Amino acid sequence: MMYQELLKALVKPALYEKTDTLFWNDPHIAKSMLEAHLNPELEAASRKPETIDKAVDFIETLVSKEAKILDIGCGPGLYTKRLSDKEFRAPLITT
């Protein structure tokens, strides 16, 4: 019985199939992911601060301060924070 349950749990869902699994909400995953995002030496979950700064500087050349920039899937909001510091209106959405 347990073997069958294990096999069922190992089946990869179809692309975009909804599941009951809350991967990002798992306490271990969530803690590790946040640590990876906030580690400035690691370019895995988020880019290094210098790279984020360059991207924000580039965005600043393209978008007026009156525009709203929506950051969807923003993680810890590293880009949004920098955009807000430059007085952009940058709401964010994450799950």
The pLDDT value recorded for residue 85 is 94
The whole-angstrom separation of Cα 86 and Cα 70 is 15
Only one residue has tokens 């500087």, namely: 57
Please, are residues 37 and 46 in contact by the beta-carbon 8 Å criterion?
yes
**CB distance 59 to 82 below 8 Å:** no
Q: What is the pLDDT of residues 6-58, one digit of tens each?
A: 888 788 878 888 877 777 778 888 888 888 888 999 888 899 999 999 999 99
Show Cβ contacts of residue 14 under 8 Å, excluding neighbours closer than 6 positions: none
**What is the rounded CA–CA span in Å between residue 70 and residue 74?**
9
Residue 1 predicted with pLDDT over 70: no
